Structure 1
Amino acid sequence: MGAAGIKALFLAYFTWVGLFSPYLSLYLAAIGLTIAEIGVLLAVPQVLRIVGPPFWGWMADRSGSRVVLLRVSSVGALAGALLLPLAGDRFAALLPVLALLYFMTAAQMPIGETIAMHASGGDAGRYGRIRIWGSAGFIVGVVAMGPVLDAWGMRTLPWWTAAIMLGLVASAWRMRAVPAPRAGPPAMRVRERLRQPRVRAFFASAFLMLFAHAALYAFLSLYLAQLGYSKTAIGLLWAVGVVAEIAVFWVQRRLFERFGAIRLLHASLWVAALRFALIGLAATWLPALVLAQLLHAVTFGIHHSATVATLQRWFEPAQHARAQALYVTVGYGLGGALGVLVATAVWSAVSPSAAFLVSAAAAALGGWVFRRCREPMGEAGGADG
């Protein structure tokens, strides 16, 4: 299968992510919702990460109709986008609409990543050249939409979302069906692997890392807007992080060869503590804020790649999907959802900057917990990389 379809899918999907991640909180504030209501609505995508990807992955493996599921889910996502303006400023209506939108878009990555790996023939370099279209899409969503929303108003966000989802539908429809691989022999039980102290420490640190990032993804734009930054400036600051992410993807092979995945994971947690402390204490000073966004290369780029590499080494091939699903559930689902709710409570009870200082503390705690990951596991695949 040619890679054009999956490149277009990544471009459209991450353009939407680039629009929604920084600007949804501003839209909800613009239509008059309280910070408590905004916090609950921003926890929706985190909760959907608990049930969405495993469901779509199970459906794809069971049916073998991956492209069909991408088409169905993209149409559902378009429907959710079109319902968003009809929900207006009613919290009770926005909650199910956003749940529908995030549930449908939860299919794109687990299925899309599988198709991308098939299209790349397992070649990491070729896969990277496919996957980078997602980073490009995020930059388009963040940078292009800042001036657009400044000019047209934040209340137009649902219609721009619908336009992007129309592109997602088009990209899914131009993809050809990909046969699902045959299941291999039964693997050893995942439960035995999870009893290892370093594996438990790994997932605990993942929970804390994504807990720490929840305030960033949910409230950074609103925080910066309250400090006086324009929507265009906010978009550019988000883009700085993504450009840094792309850059580290190009050079990370040498970093992994020199330091290994475990050391890089450990370092990324401490770097995250520094990043969120900078945001909480020095966000009014632009150079400090730019530095904090440049550190996204480490706190997301390195952490994500090292996480995937570690799970690949620690779990057998027949367990990789379950291991990745567990990471999404523990990190993005449980950690992300609880992180948003805690950040909301701290924002309301103390101050916005305090929410980011709590994130810094959570990342530092993750760095302390991660020390257990250096203990030998005594099994094949347990090397530090």
Structure 2
Amino acid sequence: MLSQRAFSNTNLFLLAFTYFCYFGHVGAIVPYLGVFLDSRGFSSVEIGQLSALITLTRIVGPHLWSSFTDSSGKNLRMLQLGCFLSLCCFSLVLWSESFWALSIAIGLMMMFVTAILPQIEVITLSCVKGQGNRYGRIRLWGSIGYILLTVATGAMIDRYSTEAPVYITLLILLTLFLSTFLLTEPQSSGKAKKLTQTVWPLLKTPTFIGFILSGILLQMSFGPYYSFFALYAKDLGYSGQATGWLIATGVMVEVGIFVIAGGLIKRFGAKRLLIISMLLTSVRWGLLAFFAEHLYWLLFSQMLHAFSFGMAHAASIYFIHHYFGKKFQSRGQAIYMSLAFGVGGAVGGYAAGEFWHQGSGAELTFLLASIAAFLAMICLLPINRKRMDGAL
């Protein structure tokens, strides 16, 4: 009965709502973290350092339960625990004022939030039985949540204060935690066996090394965008709500990509689509560096988010899911999140803070981001296409 319920439309709808809440909280806090910290009196260097410290915790987070869930199969229980700890840690922001207090509070929240994302992905992929189109339709609700909460939070900043992202994020995390108790995960086909094999042979192949280096460089290129885009838009004269719509524009076209991602990957292959995504990301940061004062170029650069994140993420997730197989699914997700988003994001955030100089170094910072994205593309070129696409 439980196994059948896991594959029901109701459970798939609840999984979509889980994605909605998860990425909704990201849309409420990440784009406006720089604005929030700036209002607390932090300099651009401090914002970059804090962003890097926070991102470094994402290296630890995904590994907290990956080994246990791979051997026990209790992804749902780990998901619930991660949601609870995320909520508790982020609530400390209400009483945190200093650099280190905020770093610890937000960093711990990010650590547990990042740790639970692999569990959501594994449960969803198991429930849709690896069908790309069904996964894409469920995953796109994460993008919808991101859009709605980004725009709403921007409006709340205009209407109330720069503290609005904190309260909105707390409400979403509470909703996410409660929603996990309504989910059902597929039952394993027996008592889970203790893993005796190591994942190391899968990590040292040229295919995976090229893939993960590319992922790290891509996330490095996102450093100035995640840390300073809202402040950048503010310097260009945009309101909080207008900034929210600018961010949402990119995610809107990303929704369409997720709907057709499975079909595109099946037709063109992961390598080809990842290369195109990296190249367009490089163009995107170049447009922000030199043409951001023109609204139509700014809007176009935001639309490229469909490839910078949407297609790149979808192709990467499918590669990880099939490359590591059932035995190491959670561990593969954890390694990918830790190295690409953790290491890459931390280095990118720190470097952005060093070059930003209160906005005077914005052009140089985005130019360096463009170069990083281009190098990400270069890392994929030597990979044998059949070997990479054959894993999908």
TM above 0.5: yes
Distance in 2, matches of 1:275 and 1:286, equals 14
2:147 alignment partner, one of 139, 142, 150: 139
Residue equivalent to 1:355? 365
Q: Is 1:105 aligned to residue 129 of structure 2?
A: no
Query: What amino acid does structure 1 have at the position aligned with 2:254?
Result: E
Structure 1, unmatched stretches of 5+, are none
Q: Is 1:264 aligned to residue 307 of structure 2?
A: no
Aligned length: 381
Query: What amino acid does structure 2 have at the position aligned with 1:361?
Result: I
1:334 CA drift (Å):
0.8
Distance in 2, matches of 1:177 and 1:320, equals 15
Change (3 A) 1:63 1:260: closer
Q: Is 1:159 aligned to residue 159 of structure 2?
A: no
Summarize deviations over 1:207-243 as a string: whole Å, max 9, x none.
1111111221222111111221111111001111111
SS at match of 1:228: coil
**1:41-120 maps to which residues of 2 (within 5 A)?**
41-62=50-71, 64-88=73-97, 90-120=98-128
SS at match of 2:373: helix
Contact 1:314/1:382 (<8 A) preserved? no
Distance in 2, matches of 1:86 and 1:257, equals 49
Change (3 A) 1:28 1:303: same
Residue equivalent to 1:246? 255
Query: What amino acid does structure 1 have at the position aligned with 2:37?
Result: L
Contact 2:48/2:350 (<8 A) preserved? yes
SS at match of 2:222: helix
Q: Is 1:235 aligned to residue 244 of structure 2?
A: yes
Change (3 A) 1:347 1:186: same
Q: Is 1:321 aligned to residue 335 of structure 2?
A: no
Q: Is 1:39 aligned to residue 48 of structure 2?
A: yes
1:265 CA drift (Å):
1.1
Contact 1:260/1:384 (<8 A) preserved? no
Distance in 2, matches of 1:383 and 1:31, equals 50
1:375 CA drift (Å):
6.5
| The 10-residue stretch of structure 1 (351-360 or 71-80) with the greater mean CA deviation from structure 2 | 71-80
Structure 2, unmatched stretches of 5+, are 1-5
Summarize deviations over 1:261-316 as a string: whole Å, max 9, x none.
11111121111110100011111111111111111111111111222233345444
Contact 1:146/1:234 (<8 A) preserved? yes
Query: What amino acid does structure 1 have at the position aligned with 2:76?
Result: V
4+ residue stretches of structure 1 with deviation over 6 A?
A: 184-188
Q: CA RMSD in A?
A: 2.6
Residue equivalent to 2:205? 196
1:372 alignment partner, one of 372, 376, 382: 382
Contact 2:72/2:193 (<8 A) preserved? no
1:341 CA drift (Å):
0.7
1:290 alignment partner, one of 295, 299, 312: 299
Query: What amino acid does structure 2 have at the position aligned with 1:357?
Result: L
| Alignment TM-score, normalising by the size of structure 1 | 0.90
Residue equivalent to 2:30? 21
Query: What amino acid does structure 2 have at the position aligned with 1:10?
Result: Y
Change (3 A) 1:250 1:375: closer
Residue equivalent to 2:3? none
User: What is the percent sequence identity of the aligned residues?
Assistant: 31
Distance in 1, matches of 2:389 and 2:303, equals 31
Summarize deviations over 1:155-201 as a string: whole Å, max 9, x none.
23322222222212221233346545655797976444444334322
| The 10-residue stretch of structure 1 (267-276 or 66-75) with the greater mean CA deviation from structure 2 | 66-75
SS at match of 1:318: coil
